[in-house]
A and B are shown apart, each in its own frame.
Chain A
């Protein structure tokens, strides 16, 4: 004899059985396939589990996080992971299992372990990085030479974001007065359009690649926004192979995104990106100053060398002149001695004499006739005589 019970009674039995069989709470892992927040502040989720290989869903459950719990879990999760509590994430939740006569099987979430989500995100990032490494592209952008003067700056950012404004302010009001030419290539910086938006902006820049020195991808915000959009293979692959060096400053404090991992240089904030560019130009300006003063110094050195050389000549000149004069003196002395040795006065003093007649030197007796007056010159005077004989 059939004794039917109402569905309500049946469900009540199930509810009782489950409550009795599963009184405690469980830490359960799964993927959020749906997250819906109500105006009252409650959160309804759908949790699934996929078969890793076949990628088919093998388990599914609805869940509820009451407003009182969710108001604490939501900011905690965001702070810890840098991620909004949203569909697509792998999560570890503390749940109790309940069955309601009308709504059926459901999980009530009382706690969450963000470290699990972080671990899963890191694992996914690592998988992308490994793939880029295997394909040999991971370091391509890093290997590009950084421009000497990164002044023509193609900026990829959201046109509304404060980050771009901060970046331009910092750059254009740099204390040195360096010139920069920043230009915006607008792209969404959050949500699922990030990948396609940035790739499209890169394509626009690549069309006139020689017109730019460097690409800067920035957004303001800090650690409170969703970063998983920067962790995609396509975006990383495009950036890694881009022909200009890419600087990222996407405003977060936690571990690198995949985009950061392939960028030429990563900094934390848009202002830090601006500082990097200013610093690079400042280093070049300092080098130029050093060169300029080095050249002036070298010229001074050369002039001073020549001056020393001249001074040396000036100092040595009188000595050389004195030496020369002394030598000439010596020669003159010698000549004088020789001349003196040959002088008539000396010969006369030796006892020789010189005889003249009518002013002419008498060289032969034949020159004289008797009666002529002759003058004989001795060393100390003259004798006047008359010739007595003829020869």
Chain B
């Protein structure tokens, strides 16, 4: 998965994967591939919701200290 993907892009890709699988467009042999990409994307999205991003924290702390 691309490291620079944004949350909204990740959710967009998840919707794409769901529609793709639902629409029957996925070859049965590729299902595992799509499923593992989806799992990776969901894990990424959930980490945005629940895990403290130390980079973000550091940047924002530095902005506040500069006040």
Asked if A348 is at the interface of the complex by the 8 Å CB criterion, the answer is no
Asked if A346 is at the interface of the complex by the 8 Å CB criterion, the answer is no
| A298 with B59, Cβ < 8 A, contacts A177-B50, A179-B49, A288-B45 known | no
* Most chain B beta-carbon neighbours within 10 Å: one of A149, A152, A186, A291: A291
* Per-residue B-contact encoding for A173-192, CB less than 8 Å = 1, 0 else: 00011110101111000000
16 other A-B residue contacts (CB within 8 Å) besides A291-B42, A302-B28:
A148-B8, A179-B48, A179-B50, A181-B57, A181-B60, A183-B61, A183-B64, A288-B42, A288-B46, A291-B14, A292-B14, A295-B35, A298-B18, A299-B21, A299-B34, A303-B31
Binding site for A on B (CB under 8 A): 7-8, 11, 14-15, 17-18, 21-22, 24, 26, 28, 31, 34-35, 38, 42, 45-46, 48-53, 56-57, 59-61, 63-64, 67
How distant is the Cα of A183 from the Cα of B63 in the complex, in angstroms?
Answer: 9
Binding site for B on A (CB under 8 A): 148-149, 151-152, 176-179, 181, 183-186, 204, 208, 211, 281, 284-285, 287-288, 291-292, 294-295, 298-299, 301-303, 305-306
- Considering only CB atoms, which chain A residue lies closest to B59 in the complex? A211
The answer to whether A291 and B15 touch across the interface, beta carbons within 8 angstroms, is yes
How distant is the Cα of A184 from the Cα of B65 in the complex, in angstroms?
Answer: 10
Contacts of B26 in A (CB 8 A): 302
Q: Pick the contact of A211 from B34, B63, B67 — CB < 8 Å?
A: B63
How distant is the Cα of A305 from the Cα of B22 in the complex, in angstroms?
Answer: 11
19 A-B pairs (CB sep. < 8 Å) = A149-B7, A177-B50, A179-B50, A179-B53, A204-B67, A211-B59, A281-B49, A285-B49, A288-B11, A288-B14, A288-B46, A288-B49, A294-B22, A295-B18, A298-B22, A299-B35, A302-B21, A302-B24, A302-B28
Per CB-CB distance, the 10 closest pairs between chain A and chain B, nearest first, are A298-B21, A298-B22, A183-B64, A291-B14, A295-B38, A295-B18, A292-B42, A294-B18, A181-B60, A179-B52
How distant is the Cα of A184 from the Cα of B57 in the complex, in angstroms?
Answer: 14
Contacts of B31 in A (CB 8 A): 299, 302-303
Contacts of A306 in B (CB 8 A): 28
How distant is the Cα of A186 from the Cα of B64 in the complex, in angstroms?
Answer: 10
How distant is the Cα of A306 from the Cα of B38 in the complex, in angstroms?
Answer: 21
* Most chain A beta-carbon neighbours within 10 Å: one of B7, B14, B21, B24: B21
**Shortest Cβ gap from A150 to chain B (Å):** 12
How distant is the Cα of A149 from the Cα of B48 in the complex, in angstroms?
Answer: 9
The answer to whether A295 and B8 touch across the interface, beta carbons within 8 angstroms, is no
Contacts of A305 in B (CB 8 A): 24
Contacts of B59 in A (CB 8 A): 211
Contacts of B14 in A (CB 8 A): 288, 291-292, 295
- Considering only CB atoms, which chain B residue lies closest to A183 in the complex? B64
Contacts of B45 in A (CB 8 A): 288
| A178 with B49, Cβ < 8 A, contacts A183-B64, A298-B18, A302-B26 known | yes
Q: Pick the contact of A179 from B15, B18, B51 — CB < 8 Å?
A: B51
- Considering only CB atoms, which chain B residue lies closest to A292 in the complex? B42
Contacts of B8 in A (CB 8 A): 148
- Considering only CB atoms, which chain B residue lies closest to A148 in the complex? B8
How distant is the Cα of A179 from the Cα of B50 in the complex, in angstroms?
Answer: 5
**Shortest Cβ gap from A291 to chain B (Å):** 5
**Shortest Cβ gap from A355 to chain B (Å):** 72
The answer to whether A152 and B56 touch across the interface, beta carbons within 8 angstroms, is yes
The answer to whether B11 and A181 touch across the interface, beta carbons within 8 angstroms, is no
Contacts of B42 in A (CB 8 A): 288, 291-292
Contacts of B7 in A (CB 8 A): 148-149
